[in-house]
Structure formats: C-alpha cells, structure tokens
C-alpha cells in the first residue's frame, strides 16, 4: 500500500472577499466533508431529492431537498418556504447540529456573528444541471446572510450585481468551499453554470450545495 503523505495534513482555509459583505472561504468545510455527506444521505432517505417545477411549469435540472424548520419549495402556486415536505406531508428532517454549527462558524468568520439558520436547502447537480441567474428574496429577514457549502465536483458560480442585465463574474467553487453573502451583497444576482462530467472520490458524478438561510 502507498502511504498517504497528506492524510494528516490540515487543509488550509483562505478567505477571498468578493464584494462588500460577500466572501469565499476556501476549504472551510473540508474537514467535515464525510460527516456532512453522511447527514445528506440520512436527510435524503427521509425527504428524497426531487426535481421541483417552477411556477411556469418547467422541471428544474437541479434536484432539491431540505432540512430544518422551513423548506423552500416551488410549484404551480409559486415559490415559498413551508414547514412540510409536499411529497410526504411530514415536517422536513431536523437540521443536523453539525450543519448548524458549520453555518454559524462560517458566518462568524465572515463578520456575521448572529446568524441562526432555520432552513437548509440541499441542491444536487448532476452533469448537465445548472441554475440560472436569480436573487434569493423569499426570506423574511434580508439583514441575515446566506451561507453556501459546496461538496463534490467543481462548478462555476456566477456572481452578479443588483440587476440581471449586468454581466456576472465567473468564480470556480470546489469541494469544501463556503460562500457567505450578506449586507450590501445579499440581493445580488447569482447562479451556477452547467455541471461538467467528472468523478469525485466522495460524491461520484455530482455536486451538492447546501444553502443555509434564516427564512422566517
């Protein structure tokens, strides 16, 4: 067997400021990766990943599930947060303590000390899946930031401005990277480009993204 010279090496975290109130914390979630993926497996066994329909009737290419008090859903009636999984009628699975702790510590590191997420949206991208430019504005308290955690295959995210017409910057997000955006960046347009084919040792041919929100 080949000894792994890097097995016990701590992974260095670096912070990149994207704009006022917005930061990429590179590798911030790397040390917890296997625990996070185990929790995703348990949550999605109870609340399966599904392709929701937009109010316009299109099926989303990203598969979604949720945990925490509130889950984000979209259907013919529109976008909203609700306490029950529409597939089962049951409450969403509880937010695992390691999820909440990671989100709080990332928010703190980015200068948001009072973040208490009550919703976590789980996105799974398979090759070909994407998310077009949009704003996250279904949350009641826009003074709270959003924290995003990327796991698995890399994907390019688009970091826009306050209007859809302004050309976004492309920023690569890799396994373990965390993005925090709040303050003046909270309502920026953003999205992710089409996921390319690949194989990640922990997730296989997909990328997961967790977004932590203070919804209600």
Question: Which residues of the chain form contacts with ligand MD3 (CB under 6 A)?
Answer: 121, 123, 131, 136, 148, 157, 159, 179, 181, 185, 188, 190, 192, 209, 211
Collapsed DSSP state (helix, strand, coil) of residue 74: strand
**Binding characters for Fe ion, 95-134, by CB under 5 A (x = yes):** ----------------------------------------
- Nearest distance in Å: CB 113, ligand MD3: 20
Distance CA 173, CA 124 (A): 14
Q: Which does 104 bind (CB under 5 to 8 A by kind): Fe ion, ligand MD3, none?
A: none
Return the number of the residue (39 or 136) whose C-beta is nearest ligand MD3.
136
- Nearest distance in Å: CB 3, ligand MD3: 35
Return the number of the residue (75 or 90) whose C-beta is nearest Fe ion.
75
**Binding characters for Fe ion, 5-44, by CB under 5 A (x = yes):** ----------------------------------------
Q: Which tokens belong to 104?
A: 């709080």
Given the DSSP bridges, would you call strands 71-75 and 22-26 parallel, antiparallel or unpaired?
Answer: unpaired
- Nearest distance in Å: CB 160, ligand MD3: 7
- Nearest distance in Å: CB 5, ligand MD3: 32
Q: Which tokens belong to 100?
A: 């909440």
- Could you say whether residue 139 binds Fe ion (CB under 5 A)? no
**Residue 191: how many CB atoms within 10 A of its CB?**
15
Listed residue (94, 101, 97) closest to 66, CA to CA: 94
- Could you say whether residue 177 binds Fe ion (CB under 5 A)? no
- Nearest distance in Å: CB 159, ligand MD3: 4
In the chain, alpha helices (H):
33-46, 97-109
- Half-sphere exposure in the Cβ direction for 158 (13 Å, CA): 21
- Could you say whether residue 85 binds Fe ion (CB under 5 A)? no
Contacts of 4 (CB under 8 A, 6+ apart): none
| β-pair partners for 145 | none
Q: Which residue has the tokens 């998310």?
A: 131
- Could you say whether residue 136 binds Fe ion (CB under 5 A)? yes
């Amino acid at each position: 067997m080949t000894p792994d010279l890097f097995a016990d090496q701590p992974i260095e975290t670096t912070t990149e400021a994207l704009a006022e109130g917005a930061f990429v914390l590179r590798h911030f979630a790397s040390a917890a990766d296997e625990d996070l993926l185990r929790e995703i497996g348990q949550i999605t066994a109870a609340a399966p990943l599904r392709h929701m329909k937009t109010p316009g009737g299109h099926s989303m290419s990203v598969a979604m599930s949720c945990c925490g008090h509130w889950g984000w859903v979209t259907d013919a009636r529109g976008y909203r947060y609700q306490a029950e999984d529409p597939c089962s009628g049951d409450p969403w699975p509880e937010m695992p303590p390691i999820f909440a702790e990671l989100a709080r510590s990332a928010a703190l590191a980015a200068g948001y000390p009072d973040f208490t997420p009550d919703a976590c949206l789980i996105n799974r991208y398979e090759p070909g899946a994407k998310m077009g430019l949009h704003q996250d504005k279904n949350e009641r308290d826009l003074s709270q930031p959003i924290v995003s955690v990327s796991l698995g295959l890399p994907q390019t995210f688009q970091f826009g401005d306050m209007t859809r017409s302004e050309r976004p910057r492309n920023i690569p997000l890799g396994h373990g990277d965390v993005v925090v955006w709040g303050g003046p960046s909270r309502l920026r347009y953003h999205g992710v480009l089409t996921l390319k084919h690949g194989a990640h040792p922990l997730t296989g041919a997909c990328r997961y993204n967790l977004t932590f929100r203070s919804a209600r």
